[in-house]
Structure 1
């Protein structure tokens, strides 16, 4: 299968690229190389004859037409997106342009390609989205594929809009699409602006470990390599027009997650004195911070036989170990724009 993966230099996209090539798929990685992209993310497969790279922006329709015409993919896995909630609060325009207009361009380029090829029944446009489009849960309940949309941030609103566009292109034009909405990802190659890598790197540098509010916010944590496995399953075997929620079945409060990471660091690379947990610092909460996300993955488990293989305890251990062993990867990223700064406070 020849896959066109957008955003393949990013965190989740690169996990998909690495796994797809390892499984014998031909992969075209399309990425604009914005601040969160990193060539080292795909270094394990970049020398493979199954891998090729196209630097292009999904906001550039002409570039997309050229890529489709050159490579003739069998399926699209659309992951390219602006994804950091704090950045969306400070600069929502980039999220509208990339996540909405960019998805529109991808749909139109894919539809033109599909029609040129004679509308093959095996073609798929797989749109990868987030559980944040569903809003915020209370202490009970889980998101299902039928949960009404209720986005609360510029980021989640832009992803909700892109989901609606994909469904509209399926209904109006017959484009064969599948959609997935995932819970919070973590693992190797995670760009150092999200909670888990920030916790690890601030701890190692002796800096305050910021926890928003009182740390009571709950997330369902999904190991990124499990997510990549689920995405490849959906693009190959998912029912056309169907959406699948992908969750890790690992709910944790943010404060508990941070304390677990500190305990792992205490074990693997102890401080000269005391615990890394002493660096935990509660800071002003993010505007509109959703209280809880939790996914019911029954559909993908029942229909496709998938379930996560990595518990959050094992996944965090692997992740902390990876960051300790890969300073050459993360050190240069700390110099990039906005990294290490508190963002999302302008509201």
Structure 2
């Protein structure tokens, strides 16, 4: 039986008072929605301190408390005028002093990330704003790319970095600037409700498989080896599947893109290798984990290089390594584990099930449902 925390789908946060504000409408609004069912999803509200160290201590514990979140909405009070949905969060610089008269010594939200790193929400905010303002012409709502470089943006960065699920930051103006308390509460509720409805509509029945692509990069300098790296992050759509597992270079197939072009692009972006030769499709797996709403069709492409891989996206993978196919590190990313569990061998002879050190183009397909 699921616990009450496991049943929570949507996390709402608001902030305590700070500066010249004697009331923080962000918390006054979100606390009224605590434990309320919205569009079939259960909502839980939490109050956050206007304190960098306090957020560092409390927010990870809050996130860990709810293992099955589908949406995070962080709320805060902004400038007078319109309501704003923030599209991005920056790693810094955070120099504005908090309620404890402190700021991060590094001026960064996460010192291990690049100082200029910017994280983006995956929610279609422009479309949602258009829908809301069309339905309520008196609603002053817009998207923004400047969340203020204070506790609001600091918290939002942490939400996006966690990659637990889609996340967004919602700024409301102070009461009376321009909306009365009752009108602001109504407008804010409509915005929050619309965000939740967007997530609720993405039920498993509405989900569709996605197409990923993985590249078996080999080299004559490393017989029997392929390039693998340990994933630091989950999927860009917020699905946590695969974090901490070992995977091949790869990514999503773009519209109109061939397997070969996708393989070359992904290996260049992730490994800094631009010399791939003998690039060809050799296998496909159908990887499914219904408990995580994860379903990817993954073509495997073989290619050769004479170069050395370099980790180009440190937020996704610390390092790429040459590892023997017969002794790959564990755990493996689900599609790779699924392929490895079959008879497929990229270094088998031409008469066997494999690519024969790049000398055979026979394809090996497997269709299986297995947990990630």
Q: Shared fold by TM > 0.5? A: no
Q: What TM-score do the two structures reach when normalised by structure 2? A: 0.25
Q: What TM-score do the two structures reach when normalised by structure 1? A: 0.26
Q: Which has the larger radius of gyration?
A: 2
| Structure with higher RCO (Cα < 8 A, 6+ apart) | 1
